[in-house]
Each structure stands twice: as C-alpha cells, then as structure tokens.
Structure 1
Amino acid sequence: MLQKNDQELFGLDRFKPNDPARSYTIPGNLYYDADVFAAEKEAVFYKSWNFVCHVGQLEAPGAYATTRVGDQNIAVVRGRDGVIRAFHNVCSHRAHKLLEGQGKTRAIVCPYHAWTYELDGRLRSNAVLETVEDFRTDEFCLKPVLVEVMLGFVWINLDFDAAPLAEQSGRFADEIRSYCADPETLRFSHRMTFEVKANWKNVIENFQECYHCPPAHPALVELIDHQIYRTKNYDICSSHIAPSRGDNSAFKFDPAKEGALVMFGAWYLWPNVAFNVMPGRRNISVLHMMPSGPETTYEHWDFFFEDGAPNEEEAAAMEYLEQVLQPEDIGLVESVQSGLHSRVYSQGRLVIEPTLASNSEHGIHHFQTLYYNAMTADRR
C-alpha cells in the first residue's frame, strides 16, 4: 500500500474523495509505475472478490476452471459432493502448476511427480510417500481460497477476512435480476479476448463515463438515449442505464417481441468487472479487465444467453462489440496511455455536471475513491 510520503510524492493529496466537484484526478504516473502496480496486487486484487466463471461452466463433479489474480494462479473445482471449492493451483510438493484452462477431471494430478489430490483438495497417500519419514498427508493438502456464488457466477477472494461479496455490493444483485431474471439459468456462449496496451485503471475509467460517447461512439449513441443515460454510484458499484432504440446503426433488435428488454444496462463492480445487459432476449455479458502488467490489460468478454447459442440479434450485438465498439474504446485508452507519459501532464480535473447528467464523470470519481481507499487503507 502507499504510505503517506508516497501519497504526497504521487500527488494523491490533491485527490478529494469526498468532494468530486473540486477533486483532481489521481496522478498520471500511477498508471505506469511498476512499484505502484506491485502495490496494487496486494492492496487491491489480493483483498477483493475476483470473477471466475458461471456455475453452468462447472456443472458436473470434476469440472474445473482456472484463473489468475495478480501473480497467483487459482483453480476452482466442483467436488463429488456438488460443492464448488477454490484452491491455489500449485502442487504442495515442488510448486508445479496443477490444472490448465478449463476441463473435467476425476482427480487433480500434478504433471511433475504425479502427486494426486482429491477434488476436495486432500492429498492421496501412495507407496512412495509412505516411505518418507514422519510424512503427514494433511500437511500437504491443497491450500484453499475463499469462494462465493452470486447471481450464478463464481467469485474468489484471497483474503479470508473479506466480507461476503453480496454484502459489499449492496443492491447490485437485485438490480441485475430486475433486468435479467434468473441469471443462474443462462448458458455460456462465447468469449472474446482483447489485449490492450493500457493500464487497467485507464480501461475501467473509460467504461465509467459516457461523456466521450457522442464524439467517439456514434453508433452507440444511436442505440441508447444519451440524453437520458445516467450513472449512479453505490457501495463498490456503479450502474449505467439508458433506454435503447430499435432503429439504430449499431445492431438491430425487435422491441415488440414478447419479453424483449428495451433498456441498456451496464454495471461496474470493484475492482475490474462489468456486467452488461443488451436490449432483446434475456442475456448477460461479463467484461473482465485483467491487468497483465503496469501498462497492459487483457479484456475478456464472456457472453451468456438463454440456450447458449446466440440468435440473430445477439450475434449482431456481438459483432458490433467486436468490430466497432471495442476498437473504438481500445484506440481511446491506448492514446491516453501514451499521453500519460507526457512530461507536461500530471493530473486532470473531472467534469462533474451538477445534475449528474450523461456528460458527468462522477463514475470515474467513484472508482478513483475506491482505489484511493484501497491503496491508503493502512493510513486511515
């Protein structure tokens, strides 16, 4: 975490968490400094709830998925008893990685020396281990990670003292359900992955405001009513809601179809996940913004539909995201990332519109406040 002298050095003393209208942004060098990035792993990612997958992707006993949180590799596995558990994805013998990607297994077997673990993390004994003096299998079981299921999605936290995600996120789950009923029953359809040459905070801040939408996203402004678009902040979340228009150049949907959603909804959830509900049939897409370095981020877009396969409208929406919206946003944040290195740039000012209309950047201030609180927690 940043100490008091670090706050003054980096200019965080000019950031005003309780006064967005008069606050400067967090300083530019926090978006590329390697020491800051190392501190973020400890203060932000190792103490927060991190997205993994949908429960439908872990449907059968032995189904597993792996993910990274900072430098830590984690495996999530459904046991024979039906319970979903999470473990550090490392063998207790010589630290070899155990599982890769997603799949299904009857037991967790290390590729290095074949140490074998049950799906609940217990180490199996064998003839070789029984020859080791004073060896205790219970000492070398897999090391657990906190796991929670919310909205039918699996989350992990490396901090066993963390409050439940459902508690931290307030009305987040209820809001999602009001736009997409029974998300637990959706089926995974498709993943898009983008490698972005920008710091993770830069990427999230771009998501957190639509001030840039009229000049940068003309098709999106046709899809949603930008004049009514509103951002609301609460707990560790922000919501971005607007009515949508069937007649637009982004993608076509029929608002007259029975059960069709005619609203666009997007929700940011600390630290690096966004849920999106597009107009049309019941759906959710999850944007997972995973830092891979001080100035690089992987974006995973996971799409979930009623029966897994996208219909014509949903395929058109995915094509728009992949071919139009993502290239537009990636171009913006990569340009900003380059500009943050300018010798004449240090901090900016946020545009906080008094009525918090669509051109207001109070969503960025909320995110930066969460970041400030995490990075200075030991000083308060």
Structure 2
Amino acid sequence: MADGDILARPESSGGLQRGATLPFEWYRDPAVFERERELIFKRSWQYAALLEQLGEPGDTVPTSVADIPIVLARGKDGELRAFVNICRHRGHLVVPDAGNRSSLRCPYHGWIYGLDGCLKAVTRGRLEENLDTSQWGLLPLQVDTWGPFVFVNFDLDARSLREWLRPVMDSARRARVPLDGLSLWKETEFEFRANWKVAVENTLECYHCPTIHSETIGKWLKVTHDAFRTSCDDYGIISEQDLQPPGRRPSGSPPYDPETNETCVPLPFLWPNFQFTSFPGPRNLMVFTFRPVSSDRTIGCFQYLFGDEADEDFRQRICDFSDQFGSEDLSAVESVQRGIDSGILPYGHLLPVSDITTQYFDDLVHAALTGKDRNR
C-alpha cells in the first residue's frame, strides 16, 4: 500500500467535530505498524523498567519497545544507561535475560561490550588489523527516571522526560499518588490478539464500563458520564473516576480501603501506551503498559507495587479486581479487532462527548504519522 493511501484519513484536522475514527486499515496494515515504530515508538519516551530492578552496578534488564530489543544497564560508575540490545556484528541479541554482569557478552561470536556500551573485545580481533572497536559500540538511547519508573527514548534529540511528563506529573501531585517507598509485588501479562491502538483506546474511556464491567468496575466505582472526568493536555490524557458512595456499594470487600474519605481514583495516561492508577488505602500503584508486537498482537503488562504497610489481603483484592476487569477488556478488545479485520467498515463514528479521549488519542496518532507531531 502506498504512503498516500495509508495516510488518507477520512476527516479534516477538525476531527472532533467530524467524529471519524482513524481508518480501520490503520489497525491491521503491517505497513502502518512499521511507520508507527519509526514515528511514534522511536520518538516517544517509553516506560522500560522499574528502578528497583537496576539498583546495583552491573544490574541489567533486557526488554523491548514495539518489538525492538533494548537493554538497560547500571554501570560500575553508577550511571544508568540504555542501548539497543543487538550486537553490531551480525545482529544477535546481546543480553538474553536480567541479571548482574561485569560486561555484556554476545553469546553468538563472543563480542564483549562494557556496561557503558563500548565494544571492549572482539574474538580473534588481533587478526583484523583495520578493526576500529571505538566505532562499533551498542547504539545508545536516552534514559531518565521518574519516581519508581525508568523511561527510554530512541531519539537522542527529543525533549526531556520532564517536559514530556508534565501533565502526568501535575496530575499525580494533585491526586497525591504515592511514588516513593514502593516495591513490585506481582506482574501479570495479557496477550491481546489485537492492534495496540484498540487496546489503548479501550483503556482511555469508561463509556463501555456499564456494559463490559458491570460486575467489576461498576460495582465499586461510578460509571455514569459525570463520574468519569477527563482533560487532555499535550501528551497526557488525565482522567479521574468517582468511587461508589458507601450506601451504593454491594456487600463484599472493595479493592480499596472501605473507610476512605477519598471520593475518586486518578487515571493518568502518558502517550502513547503508559497508564497508572492508585486506590485509596495503603500505598499502592497499578501500572498498565501496552506493548505492540505486530499489527495484530499486543502484550498488556500489569504491574502491582505496594508499600510495606499494605497487608496480603489488600494486595490480593487489588490484584484480583484488576485481573477480572483485565480479562473482560481482553474479550472486548479482541472482538473489536475481529470486526475491524472483516474489512467491511472503512472507519467508525466517535461521539463528541462520550468518546473525547479516543478522539484526542486518534488525533495524536494521526499527527505523528502525517508529520505533524508536536514533538518534532
């Protein structure tokens, strides 16, 4: 498919008034996914790991961004660095799993890189008289941290993480989201047989909550339109959702402190695929990341962090609640993808009020793929 066809969105820049989704072709075409890897995921700050995983010199964590292998490493000098996890020799992955290492050794032909990414040694290198090892280090990425999170960016000239995060940081501060003294308790992964944008669009709105989540979210949080408030600011989509008042809660244990004086939960989202929330009660943080693997496959990673004061029962209630509504979302998202894959509809119709977050997200995607990304 030619680029002109891929980028032919059936609406003008005033998309909110027109109400068109992105073309459904964009949710299934591998060529569009390749453009997204280049123009979205390699130009945005991507959540990559928890800071606690990289606490000691020599700690290394391999992961991926849009199926591009990367590795984070804490150097002997204490510096945190990130690289493309691909050997400059023949393209083999260098670091296969997390651990503590004194160097990064490619298992294919034994090339050795330092924790600073520099090429230190080449097997039989003395036979290659013109080999300049200084030119063949691992490709570097920007890396920075906020709270317990480590972010990376392939674009070495991109604006700073703090600038990118501003709306999300402001939201977290206003909502008093705990970011210190937390540790990972559990991690769950869902594989969506769906495009990453379908999964993200689902998590950004609660228009579907009364129907899809009536027995989970709908029991403990209000799902009326006025109970889900949203503001869109730069690369942040900031939402908050009201708790059910005590008199409206069913019997049983909610996924938060039932004696809380708080009235809502925060739901900050950072473009393009990172979201977190925190429930009233002992310090807790739920982190949701949607990692595209291909045009029709996405890994949803749910991480649960708690302070030491959170007891086992509280932790398990939150995890069980999240797993339940995550399973409901999985079914809904895959059903949407099956409808899109039929090829019957060219695009969908968004409602100006109920779909405002979806429209804003779609506009960000459209701007990135058509060269109008505000970050460039």
TM-score normalised to structure 2 length? 0.90
Identity of aligned residues (%): 31
CA distance in 1, matches of 2:271, 2:255: 31
Q: Secondary structure at the match of 2:187?
A: strand
- Counterpart pick for 1:49 among 29, 45, 60: 45
1:329-350: CA deviation from partner (whole Å, max 9, x where unpaired): 1111111111113353222221
Counterpart of 1:347 in structure 2 is: 347
Distance 1:232 1:85, change over 3 A: same
- Code of the residue aligned with 1:300 in structure 2: it is C
Q: Does 1:288 align with 2:289?
A: yes
Matching residue's letter, 1:7: L
Q: Give the match for residue 356 of structure 1.
A: none
Gaps (5+ residues) in structure 2?
none
Cα 1:127–1:74 change in 2 (3 A) is closer
Q: Aligned pair in 2 of structure 1 residues 343, 253: CA closer, same or farther (>3 Å)?
A: closer
When residues 79 and 206 of structure 1 are mapped into structure 2, their CA distance, relative to the original with a 3 A threshold, is same
Per-residue CA deviation, residues 25-52 of structure 1 (Å, 9 max, x unaligned), is 1121211112111221111111111111
CA shift for structure 1 position 71: 4.2
Structure 1 partner of 2:357:
363
Aligned residue pair count: 367
Q: CA deviation at 1:126?
A: 7.0
> Is the 1:261–1:280 contact (alpha carbons within 8 Å) kept by the matching residues of 2?
no
1:256 aligns with 2:259: yes
Q: Residue 183 in 1 paired to residue 179 in 2?
A: yes
Aligned to 2:328: 328
1:231-250 correspondence to structure 2 within 5 Å = 231-245=230-244, 247-248=249-250
Indicate the SS of the match to 2:166: coil
1:143: which partner in 2? 139
Give the stretch that moved more between structures: 197-206 or 110-119: 110-119
Task: Give the Cα–Cα distance (whole angstroms) in 1 for the partners of residues 99 and 309 of structure 2.
Answer: 18
| Per-residue deviation, 1:281 | 1.6
2:178/2:284 contact within 8 Å kept: no
How many Å apart are 1:261 and its aligned residue?
5.5
Per-residue Cα deviation, 1:58-90 (whole angstroms, up to 9, x for no partner): 111111111112342110001111111001112
Q: Is the 8 A contact 1:53 1:154 kept in 2?
A: yes
Q: Provide, for residues 234-284 of structure 1, a one-character-per-residue CA deviation record: whole Å limited to 9, x for no partner.
A: 111112212324644673433436xx8653121221111111212322121
CA offsets, 1:257-314, max 9 Å, x none? 6xx8653121221111111212322121211101111111111101111139763112
The code of the aligned residue for 1:364 comes to T
Residues 282 and 309 in structure 2, CA contact (< 8 A), matched pair in contact too: no
2:221 to 221, 224, 233: 224
Which residue of structure 1 aligns with residue 368 of structure 2? 374
Partner SS for 1:169: helix
Which runs of no fewer than 5 residues in structure 1 stay unpaired?
A: 354-359
Q: Matched residue of 1:340: which SS? A: helix
When the two structures are superposed, what TM-score results if normalisation uses the length of structure 1?
A: 0.89
